[in-house]
């Protein structure tokens, strides 16, 4: 079984094959068709997201997108990582406002977190949901002035590496703050 056949079989097992284009010319691809060409790491992450969040709102060759699945404003599983040295295949965002005086400090916490002032959206792009939750919880602590950006980066690395000084597991299981609307 080649990679394409395996991906189609996996998509069919998830019930995605039933969502067909019905042969309409110019119709957008289905999630199953998109996943057929994805590498294994991305495909595995997409399967987890499909099981947890259902069918995506958008299926493009380079990404699957879900919107409005609480607590997330947006969930994006990418086919390819942002950079070769970082397997950042999953982006999750929440509605959030960062005070202007904390923007620079938040930028110092460079572990896949970004803030879009126009959208009012705080996002984390890492390799899995637990890392994203941790990154967003630490970003919230930075935005509220409880941590400096460099401190948050150290805590992120320690927690993911299970090193001494790591944060308790609850920091990776759920958001410890209430996202905006």
CATH architecture for segment(s) 81-181: 2-Layer Sandwich (3.30)
Q: Is 100:52 a contact under the CB 8 Å cutoff?
A: no
Helix (H) / strand (E) containing 33: helix 31-35
The first and second tokens of residue 13, run together, are: 């097992």
pTM of the model as a whole: 0.83
The first and second tokens of residue 109, run together, are: 């916490």
The percentage of residues in the chain with a pLDDT greater than 90, rounded to a whole number, is 71
66 vs 47: CA distance, rounded Å: 13
Helix (H) / strand (E) containing 24: none
Over the stretch 44-66, which tens digit does the pLDDT of each residue have? 999 999 999 999 999 999 999 99
Q: What residues does each domain of the chain span?
A: 1-61, 81-181
Rama region for 132: left / alpha / beta (φ>0; ψ in -120 to 50; rest): alpha
Average pLDDT rounded to a whole number, residues 93-119: 95
Does the structure show a pLDDT above 90 at 76? yes
């Amino acid at each position: 079984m080649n990679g394409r056949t395996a991906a189609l079989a996996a998509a069919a097992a998830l019930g995605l094959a039933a969502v067909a284009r019905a042969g309409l010319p110019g119709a957008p691809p289905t999630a199953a068709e998109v996943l057929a060409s994805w590498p294994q790491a991305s495909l595995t992450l997409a399967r987890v997201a499909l099981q947890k969040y259902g069918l995506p709102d958008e299926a493009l060759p380079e990404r699957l997108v879900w919107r409005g699945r609480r607590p997330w404003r947006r969930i994006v599983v990418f086919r390819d990582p942002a950079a070769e040295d970082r397997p950042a295949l999953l982006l999750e965002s929440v509605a959030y406002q960062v005070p202007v005086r904390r923007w620079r400090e938040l930028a110092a916490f460079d572990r896949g977190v970004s803030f879009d002032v126009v959208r009012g959206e705080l996002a984390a792009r890492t390799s899995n949901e637990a890392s994203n939750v941790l990154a967003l919880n630490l970003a919230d602590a930075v935005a509220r002035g409880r941590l400096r950006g460099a401190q948050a980066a150290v805590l992120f690395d320690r927690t993911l590496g299970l090193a001494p000084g790591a944060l308790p597991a609850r920091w990776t299981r759920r958001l410890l703050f209430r996202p905006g609307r």
